[in-house]
Amino acid sequence: ILNVEQSPQSLHVQEGDSTNFTCSFPSSNFYALHWYRWETAKSPEALFVMTLNGDEKKKGRISATLNTKEGYSYLYIKGSQPEDSATYLCASNTGNQFYFGTGTSLTVIP
Amino acid sequence: KAGVTQTPRYLIKTRGQQVTLSCSPISGHRSVSWYQQTPGQGLQFLFEYFSETQRNKGNFPGRFSGRQFSNSRSEMNVSTLELGDSALYLCASSLETDNSPLHFGNGTRLTVT
């Protein structure tokens, strides 16, 4: 069983603040790292799929980086908005299956 | 394009019964995987099907089984239900399981009493 850890577990920020979370995963058997956003009463939605060491991806105010050698990924949100409130999941894909972290729950206070 | 559809949305069963959950993937997606989420746990991988074949299986007892049909629709079956099987069950489809993102359904909330 592969251990994927996310921190912090939860986070409250003021609207307009920038924030970041961490996903750590075993660097062995690495194939790809996925980030998902899961809003209440909806299904998880893919944000990024990252495969290469040093990868950086961006979608609007959200960006992510990947370090496969040390086994971590950061997700950044610039200028948080209330609609960013959600649980952010990361998952390590070993090529055989996905191992998900328990997520970071973000609440953006207007 | 229609998303991933899971039925039913909610289910209440009694210990010892069995249950079948259904998942219709996005058109053209041949990979379907199933996940269980219980409070405080991350999504736990159950199994993955591709072109009607189980390709990978997670660490769950044999009471959990699944299958995939020629149209890529998938079913998951849990026999002899236990209280601990109460969970949200999500299915996800993708084009492949390498660099393709997972597309999730809304899940089936199973309660075992």
Dump pLDDT digits (tens) for A5-59: 999 999 999 999 999 999 999 988 889 999 999 999 999 999 999 999 999 999 9
**Contact (CB<8Å) B43/A100:** yes
- Quote the percentage of chain A above a pLDDT of 70: 99
Confidence band for B32, pLDDT divided at 50, 70 and 90: very high
Structure tokens at B44: 């736990």
**Contact (CB<8Å) B90/A43:** yes
Of B31, B38, B104, which to mutate for an interface test with A (greatest number of A Cβ within 10 Å)? B104
pLDDT higher than threshold 90 for residue A109: yes
* Cα–Cα distances in angstroms (integers) from residue B106 to residues A18, A42, A77, A99, B4, in the given order: 29, 6, 25, 19, 8
pLDDT higher than threshold 80 for residue B47: yes
Dihedral of CA B39/A36/A86/B93: which sign? negative
Confidence band for B98, pLDDT divided at 50, 70 and 90: low
* Residue A52: alpha-carbon gap to chain centroid: 16
How far apart are the C-alpha atoms of B47 and B66, rounded to whole Å? 8
Which one of A34, A97, A99 has the shortest CB-CB distance to B48? A97
DSSP string, A42-72: S--EEEEEE-STT-EEEETTEEEEEETTTTE
Confidence band for A1, pLDDT divided at 50, 70 and 90: low
The three-class DSSP label of residue A83 is helix
Bridge pairing between strands A10-14 and A104-109: parallel
- Contact assessment for residue B60 and residue B48, using Cβ atoms and an 8 Å cutoff: no
